[in-house]
Structure 1
């Protein structure tokens, strides 16, 4: 074989062999980079999920009353304004009777305990489709997913009766009588939520004037067509 032929043959051998020598390291490096990228993306996804969960907890905490765990005023009315466009509903405003007297005679610690007991009583009475908020010092609100007057009145009367039956006692075992007055408005489909709140609030104070521990509920006056 001529020197040229030998040289040419060696060239083919080297050309065929080189990919076997060079390609594996390059492929392995690409694999390593791809694996690092995959792991980084997994970690990034986990971090994003934790951030979303943390933000959700913070938003939930910001929407809750710290003492009772109920929705706070802003969160409650935002929720009601949304819900009333989706389902028939009614609004109850509930106020603890003689609450200043409870604070003055038994102290703010027992006053807070009384409010918490009332909040729990309301929560036990309404259904999971209803919403409850603490909207003021001793004032609560309930959105009932019903615009049937007999159902709304029955729930309100049950809340009133259950609160009156509470056996709330101070750490010294002194019983503190509790009661609530309730004003309500049925059918929230028209007007603004602020209008409905004012109407329910007027009926609440009508209940106060009627001697407290009572319920005043009336349907909304429909606007003329």
Structure 2
């Protein structure tokens, strides 16, 4: 039979891989240097895109009347130089990642270099152009997700002052606005200028959207993993006590039909830990979990309720059905094959206490009744199944 547990008692290969990806491969969990390498790689792509645009303009004489050719050639060389600078910084981050100075200073240097290159080209195409504005809004937002605030603001504040100063001086004619273009008319009437703005905007916008999507998706996965880990027992990977209580509370709230609660406690479990070590005790708990999971229905719930105590919640079950399930589980536990380091068998048993809900019995009371039945099973010599029976009032 299948059981309704969070995952199998022993995590599957797929679960291990998923957990590794969520915990280790989340971009936000990368080291600061790895994030720097990602940012420098994206910066290299930006220089490649700018170089491509300038090369196309230089190879298209029809467009020369719209641009400052001398400045364009100069900036093409600067873009190629910037590309090699970014590649070199990637190499420094990679090959000197274990050096303390690299971890301490390279994030500031890399972010500053990245922002300076964007500000320089932002001035060339116009500080108030759509390309510059999209870059200014998008990249700091992503940066604040990836890096510590002091790293981002150490570059963002000077960049803001620079762009504001350029805009102010351009407005009063002290600086040429968008010196890369020869704008003799309102820029939005210049089709070449508009298309150029789109060429600069689209790669930056798509890059930021992809990063946002990756970060958001991984954030959601990590939140889901945290929620999962808060609901399960880390050893057996079954529901923990908190999740079981929530399940019972929901059954009470929905006024579900009669259901049974079975408490399972391993007999003399401390002896296994004392004589064979805690690793063998853990192995015993995992195998018991396998056995219990294999003898209940998919609709039923299995959880670890304490150290060596488990709980079964059998939905829509009668007292007879509950006793049958408990008895099958009891017998199966006695047949578990567990061996010590000398390959000698380790035998152990379990006691079972059963309580049945009646007329929307509060789950706290039901747990108390199951615990009383379990205590009776222990008192009867252990390795027993006991159904809670309410005491009949004494005759007067």
Work out whether the TM-score is over 0.5.
Answer: yes
Q: Take 1:84 and 1:174, find their aligned partners in 2: how far apart are those partners?
A: 46
Q: Which moved more, 1:66-75 or 1:21-30?
A: 21-30
Taking the TM superposition and a 5 Å limit, the aligned residue runs for 1:203-214 are: 203-214=373-384
* Alignment match, 2:230: 62
Stretches of structure 2 lacking an aligned partner (at least 5 in a row): 1-185, 392-396
Shift in alpha-carbon separation, 1:33–1:188, aligned structure 2, 3 A: farther
Shift of 1:57: 0.9
Shift of 1:199: 0.9
Shift of 1:215: 1.0
**TM-superposition CA deviations, 1:5-31 (whole Å, max 9, x none):** xxxxxxxxxxxxx99972342255257
Q: Tell me if 1:168 matches 2:338.
A: yes
Q: Which moved more, 1:30-39 or 1:94-103?
A: 30-39
Q: Take 1:117 and 1:173, find their aligned partners in 2: how far apart are those partners?
A: 17
Tell me the C-alpha RMSD between the 2 structures: 2.8
Normalising by structure 1, what TM-score? Answer: 0.78
Assess if the C-alpha contact under 8 Å between 2:252 and 2:360 holds in 1: no
**TM-superposition CA deviations, 1:194-224 (whole Å, max 9, x none):** 2211111001111111221111124789xxx
Q: Tell me if 1:49 matches 2:217.
A: yes
Q: Take 1:158 and 1:121, find their aligned partners in 2: how far apart are those partners?
A: 10
* Alignment match, 1:125: 295
Q: Tell me if 1:144 matches 2:297.
A: no
**TM-superposition CA deviations, 1:58-85 (whole Å, max 9, x none):** 2212322222222222222223322454
- Greater strand proportion: 1
Normalising by structure 2, what TM-score? Answer: 0.46
Shift of 1:96: 0.4
Taking the TM superposition and a 5 Å limit, the aligned residue runs for 1:1-225 are: 22-26=190-194, 28-30=196-198, 32-33=200-201, 36-86=204-254, 87-88=256-257, 89-187=259-357, 190-218=360-388
Q: Aligned pairs, how many?
A: 204
